[in-house]
Amino acid sequence: MSDPRKSLDQFKSEGDLNISPHRSDWAKQHLNEETRGLLEEDAKYFLHQSLSTPCLNVLKGSQGAALEDWQGRELLDFHGNNVHQVGFGHPRVIEAITRQMAELPFCPRRYTNVPAIELARRLTELAPGDLNRVLFAPGGTTAIGMALKLARAATGRFKTISTWDSFHGASLDAISVGGEAIFRSGIGPLLPGCEHVPPPDNRHCPFKCGKACNLQCADYIEYVLEKEGDVGAVIAETVRCTPFIPPHDYWKKIRAACDKHGALLILDEVPICLGRTGKMFACEHYGIVPDMLVIGKGLGGGIFPFAALIAREHLNVMRDKALGHYTHEKNPVASAAALATLDVIKDEKLLDHVQSISAHALRRMHQMMEKHRIIGDVRGLGLLMGIELVKNRETMERATDEAERVMYHCLSNGLNFKLTMGNIITLTPALTITRPEMDRALAILESAIATAS
């Protein structure tokens, strides 16, 4: 029988897998009989899939930057599925939701409501350039689907360019443009015309750019645009959630190439919008305006599933067709949650806080890298941070088994995060996290890395 640890390497995914033997070992040591019984019941009724059911643990509560499991243990949550920009259970978000539920809990199609109108106005004021048109959706994947449809209608072209290793959601259209095998493999045929190119990752670059990146990956996108000749859109994550932060000029080159060849630029910021990178939208770091910006997750205040497509004025071209038409499209309660979230970000000056605490955390992580050879790279933009564990800094061979051991060591000591691509410790805490909480989390993490290395 094959070693299950070896099989993990073929699934370099946006999350850690539940088939790991480390997970079962951890559960035996830390979960009591009652918790194990609840997990067994959960696994009995839910369809199984590799990134969730069977689940890791059972939660009892969540508040601020932390989770509480069924056995009463607190976990600083540096994962949060990227919905907790303002933390879990922020009182202003809960108050806004409660008030709106009493006034207008639902808005049928063909009608609108004041919270939805106000939220659309606020988003267009915050978004860069002439991103002046908005459509809401129940989730990020759905909003990506709307963007793909709008690109076809606006350009008359069905082809897209996206990157390998990307993630845009789990629906059939989203995995067609997405680039992870764990979502795509064995599901086809997928949407036609979905071309894929290498991502801007100088650590694992097929063009062998190395640290002195000369943006051959951007040039390759223009090459495909020219050779295909009929691409409707380039769709990509502005900053990959691994995270990987593209070089400063990367998006300027892509923007220019799209303009030259008549393709639209769709930027997926579903998990990283609303201040996670230190700016409201990550594209602001690059000084460019996409044709469409897709946001979600944190938009619902850590409570409601909610997303938005924000498009440029000239893309208001589907008046005679149904682009979204979703039941909860203009949900007044979700809109109220989103408005409260925007108010909290502004009133609590979270953008400034993110920049300050991120600089502190990244200094600490670089100090860890000086001491521990297993750390091959430290990266971050705001509170989207990552530590890559490697067996050898020269070859950058992924230290996947070591990364799993670090993650479960941290879980045992009060810190929750996820692994991406098998070996990258991905750290995305609530934007409201305090400096003492950050220092406690980093101390737990360094202890685990020291043990693993």
What would the pLDDT profile of 141-151 be if each residue is shown by its tens digit? 999 999 999 99
Question: Is 80 exceeded by the pLDDT of residue 3?
Answer: no
- State mean pLDDT over 20-37: 93
Is 309 found in the same domain as 160?
A: yes
Where a domain ends, among 305, 327, 347? 347
> Do residues 225 and 368 share a domain?
no
Q: Kindly state the tokens that stand for 294.
A: 């897709």
CATH number at residue 356: 3.90.1150.10
Q: Does residue 277 share a domain with residue 297?
A: yes
pLDDT, greater one: 396 or 294: 294
The domain boundary, picked from 347, 364, 381, lies at: 347
Question: Sign of dihedral through CA atoms 226, 287, 198, 171?
Answer: negative
Tell me: do 13 and 130 sit in the same domain: no
Q: What is the pLDDT of residues 47-82, one digit of tens each?
A: 999 888 999 999 999 999 999 999 999 999 999 999
Structural domain count, the chain: 2
* Residues 9-38 as b or e (16 or more Cβ within 10 Å = b): eebbbbbbbbebebbeebbeeebeeebeee
pLDDT at residue 233 above 80? yes
* Phi-psi sector, 441: left (phi>0), alpha (psi -120 to 50), beta: alpha
Give the mean pLDDT of 385-389. Answer: 97
Domain end point (choices 319, 347, 375): 347
Full domain range(s) for residue 17 = 4-88+350-452
DSSP notation for 194-221 = EEEE--S-GGG-TT---SS---HHHHHH
Residues 62 and 119 in one domain: no
Residues 235 and 360 in one domain: no
pLDDT digits (tens, 9 = 90+) for 303-359: 999 999 999 999 999 999 999 889 999 999 999 999 999 999 999 999 999 999 999
CATH number at residue 126: 3.40.640.10
Is the confidence at residue 4, as pLDDT, over 50? no
> Sorting pLDDT into bands at 50, 70 and 90, what band is 21?
confident
So what's the pLDDT on residue 7?
A: 45
Mark whether 273 and 370 lie in a shared domain: no
Q: Are residues 363 and 327 in the same domain?
A: no
Average pLDDT over residues 280-298: 98
**Residue 11 clears pLDDT 70, i.e. is over it:** no
Do 307 and 238 lie in a common domain? Answer: yes
Same structural domain, 100 and 193: yes
Question: How much is the pLDDT for 210?
Answer: 61
Q: How confident is the model at residue 16 (pLDDT cuts 50, 70, 90)?
A: confident
Q: Which residues pair with 418 in a beta bridge?
A: 426
Nearest C-alpha neighbor of 93 from the set 305, 300, 346, 308: 300
Whether 305 and 435 share a structural domain? no
C-alpha span between 258 and 221 (Å, rounded)? 9
5 band by pLDDT with thresholds 50, 70 and 90: very low
Tokens of 163: 């990157």
Instruction: Name 45's Cβ contacts closer than 8 Å, sequence gap at least 6.
Output: none
Please indicate, yes or no, whether residues 289 and 390 belong to a single structural domain of this protein.
no
Distances from the Cα of 382 to the Cαs of 36, 83, 239, 405, in angstroms? 37, 15, 11, 26
Q: How many CB atoms within 10 Å of residue 75?
A: 22
Sign (positive or negative) of CA dihedral 94, 241, 50, 405: negative
Q: Chain-wide mean pLDDT for the chain?
A: 93
**400-412 confidence digits (pLDDT tens):** 999 999 999 999 9
Report the pLDDT value the prediction gives residue 6, as an integer from 0 to 100.
43
Residue 212 has pLDDT above 90, yes or no: no
The whole-number pLDDT of residue 12 equals: 64
